Structure 1
Amino acid sequence: MRVSFIKMHGLGNDFVVLDARNQPIPEISGKIAAGIADRREGIGCDQLIVLGQSESAAFRMRIFNSDGGEVEACGNASRAVALLHGEPAEVETAGGMISLELASGGASVDMGAPRFDWDDIPLAYAVDTSAMPVAWDGLENPMAVNVGNPHAVFFVDDADAIDLATLGPVIENDPLFPQRINVNVASSIADNHLKLSVWERGAGLTRACGTGACATAVAAIRKGIAKSPVTVTLPGGDLTISWEQGGTIRMTGPATEAFRGSFEWDDFA
């Protein structure tokens, strides 16, 4: 069976999109998702995105990290899908309903309301999520935020000075986080402007993480480090995050279609 795909990216965080709304495909397994994502023997991507029919929204978006694990949300992929869809839409995800629309130079996505309760992250036990009493080799007292998927946010003087390639997988897989965690390390570089590095659960270091930018901006606003809207600079570029206490998160930034192609399903089955 030959299947068409679209290769897209948001700030260098790249995706293979399978549009199954009008092209039925077999059920996705972790093995198939990891095979497609493999950069040496597959098409190559940080996440595999599968669009399908939904009874409660315009369509459904499923997200698989490069390790084959299915996750709840992906901000950069949401903007890419907005570009592909071409008009405002409500979209069903495993992390909840989101709304997306085109914006100048890319797309804007309402990512829903952040959650802060320890069992919404989730954590292994009850703890103050605004400044968790934990530390890993100098990274300490993170804020935990769920923005459709779970994030731990650390604020430091210099994000570039942190060896996130080493500490990221240690924190991601700590028993405190039963569903693992995305690890964000941020520093303030100007008023309402943050610099951010992200170790992404199941994908590792990426050039950009949209949900990480959302979680970090929300944490900075809660801590009084920044005011909305917040510019978040990642290795791949800038995102603008808007959030007011009690409201939903609005993420705006670029998205790009790179190329289209097709592959034989059995090559990865």
Structure 2
Amino acid sequence: MQLEFYKYQGTGNDFVMIDNRSNFFPKENTKLIAQLCDRRFGIGGDGLILLENDLDTDFKMVYYNSDGNQSSMCGNGGRCLVAFAKKLQVIENKTTFIATDGLHHGTIDENEIVALQMIDVPAVQVEEDYVFLNTGSPHHVQLVSDLENYDVKNIGASIRYGDLYGQAGSNVNFVEQINGNTFSLRTYERGVEDETLSCGTGATAVAIAMNVLGKTPATAIDLNVEGGKLAISFDVNEGVFTNVFLKGPAQFVFQGTIEI
């Protein structure tokens, strides 16, 4: 069977996109999904995303990590899916869609900049050395020095697989402050089990965590990720974060067919 696919990337976070509105894709075949995401034997990607029909919104997002397992929300993947939906002429410049963590709103402009509304964050867990919160996916946020030379993969894996988060694990973000409202971060992603060039839910988590810790009073925060730049904005009232938006580029890379 010939599978038509599209490849998208958002600040270096890359995804295999499939139009599954006809429900043809074998969704339970984790081995196939992992193979399609494999960078040596497949197409290559941090994850695979299906665009499906939904009765109440423009479309449904179904996200798989590169290990082949369905996963929690992916912010950059959601932004790329908005761009994909526009390419398929499912939407024009704004959309509402459903994902595993609920309803999302998004817009895309003529420069392929996508702003995606993330879920509200009602609670942030502040510990002595780290912050934990859920922005659609679970995130550990930790301030470090000399981020450029930090051993993200090994230290991230030790936290992800450690006793702190149990069998489910967590994504792990390491952060360094650049100025009053700008931070750099590097992220170890569970499911990918490696550092990725960008993580949208991670960037969102970092921005909120830095506000909670008092590192910045800003509610519009710039994030430098390995694959580019993202911007996070939000409203905060008595520790509850609403109107959370993740904004950045989402770009079509190529399309093709592959035998499955």
TM-score normalised by length of structure 2:
0.89
Task: Please tell me the residue identity of whatever aligns with 2:105.
Answer: S
State the Cα deviation string for residues 24-47 of structure 1 (Å, max 9, x = none).
323342211111111111111111
Task: Please tell me the residue identity of whatever aligns with 2:2.
Answer: R
Worse-matched range after superposition: 166-175 or 49-58 = 49-58
Task: Please tell me the residue identity of whatever aligns with 2:53.
Answer: Q
Which aligned pairs between 1:39-118 and structure 2 lie closer than 5 A? Answer: 39-86=39-86, 87=92, 88-103=94-109, 104-116=111-123
- Partner secondary structure for residue 99 of structure 1: strand
Conservation of the 8 A alpha-carbon contact between 1:108 and 1:251:
yes
Conservation of the 8 A alpha-carbon contact between 2:112 and 2:251:
no
For residues 196 and 71 of structure 1, do their structure 2 counterparts lie closer, same or farther at Cα, with a shift above 3 Å needed?
same
- Partner secondary structure for residue 71 of structure 1: coil
Conservation of the 8 A alpha-carbon contact between 1:158 and 1:186:
no
CA distance in 1, matches of 2:102, 2:143: 27
In structure 2, what is the equivalent of residue 229 of structure 1? Answer: 220
Task: Please tell me the residue identity of whatever aligns with 1:237.
Answer: G
Task: Please tell me the residue identity of whatever aligns with 1:39.
Answer: R
Which aligned pairs between 1:114-153 and structure 2 lie closer than 5 A? Answer: 114-116=121-123, 129-131=125-127, 141-153=129-141
RMSD over aligned Cα, in angstroms? 1.6
Is 1:208 the equivalent of 2:212? no
CA distance in 1, matches of 2:122, 2:29: 29
State the Cα deviation string for residues 159-203 of structure 1 (Å, max 9, x = none).
224211111111111233242100000011011000000001111
Is 1:160 the equivalent of 2:156? no
Is 1:198 the equivalent of 2:187? yes
Is 1:187 the equivalent of 2:176? yes
Gaps of 5+ in 1: 118-128, 134-140
In structure 2, what is the equivalent of residue 263 of structure 1? Answer: 258
State the Cα deviation string for residues 120-157 of structure 1 (Å, max 9, x = none).
xxxxxxxxx211x5xxxxxxx21101011100000123
Dislocated runs of 4+, deviation >3 Å: none
Task: Please tell me the residue identity of whatever aligns with 1:216.
Answer: V
Deviation (angstroms), 1:158:
2.9
Conservation of the 8 A alpha-carbon contact between 1:157 and 1:188:
no
Which structure shows the higher strand fraction?
2
Conservation of the 8 A alpha-carbon contact between 1:7 and 1:257:
yes
CA distance in 2, matches of 1:94, 1:214: 17
CA distance in 2, matches of 1:169, 1:44: 22
Deviation (angstroms), 1:116:
2.7
In structure 2, what is the equivalent of residue 29 of structure 1? Answer: 29
CA distance in 2, matches of 1:96, 1:174: 29
Worse-matched range after superposition: 70-79 or 180-189 = 70-79
Conservation of the 8 A alpha-carbon contact between 2:17 and 2:51:
yes
Task: Please tell me the residue identity of whatever aligns with 2:115.
Answer: S
CA distance in 2, matches of 1:70, 1:22: 19
How many residue pairs end up in the alignment?
246
In structure 1, what is the equivalent of residue 89 of structure 2? Answer: none
Task: Please tell me the residue identity of whatever aligns with 2:70.
Answer: E
The share of aligned pairs that are identical, in percent, is 32
